[in-house]
Structure 1
Amino acid sequence: MIRKHSATLHGHRTSFSLEEPFWQELKSISESRQMALAQLIAEIDDGRSTDSNLSSALRVYVLNWIKTERQ
């Protein structure tokens, strides 16, 4: 099920939609990297291309993190 989430990035509130497994994995990644979840989301947002939306960028980040962990 997709849920709406919100975060403050660089002083501005934004919202995005994510399936629960992606949300849980993002939280796990932030703990693993010892950083606040909002900080991780801001980092992903800063690195995404201008033609992608935040929800997609978050999903791709999680996928890449998991693929890298397997190697």
Structure 2
Amino acid sequence: MKPHLAKRSFSLAGHRTSVALEPAFWAALTAAAANRGLSLAALVAELDANRAPGTPLASTLRVFALGAHRAG
């Protein structure tokens, strides 16, 4: 059974893009953004700007969310 993905759209580096992640990852990212005093869009833009070339944005967001969740 395929996990349910939730899609969100953002403006990154002057263009629109969509990212599909599991709801648990969106929840972790939203909490991490709030903890930093950022909007979800601002956190995604920051992570996008700092990701390694060739790394998919969805992967970058999942890895960050996992790390933020582990850090508590």
Q: TM-score range by the shorter chain?
A: 0.7 to 0.9
Structure 2 residues without counterparts, runs of 5 or longer: none
Instruction: Give the CA deviation at 1:11.
Output: 2.4
Query: Structure 2 CA distance, aligned partners of 1:31 and 1:10?
Result: 22
Unaligned runs of 5+ in 1: none
TM-score, normalised on structure 1? 0.86
Q: Which residue of 2 aligns with 1:63?
A: 66
- CA shift, 1:68, in A, is 2.6
What are the superposed Cα offsets for residues 13-66 of structure 1, whole Å, 9 maximum, x if unpaired? 111110000011111111111111111001111111112100110000011112
Residue number in structure 2 paired with 1:38: 41
Matched residues, number = 69
TM-score, with length taken from structure 2: 0.85
Superposed structure 1 runs of 4+ greater than 3 Å apart: none
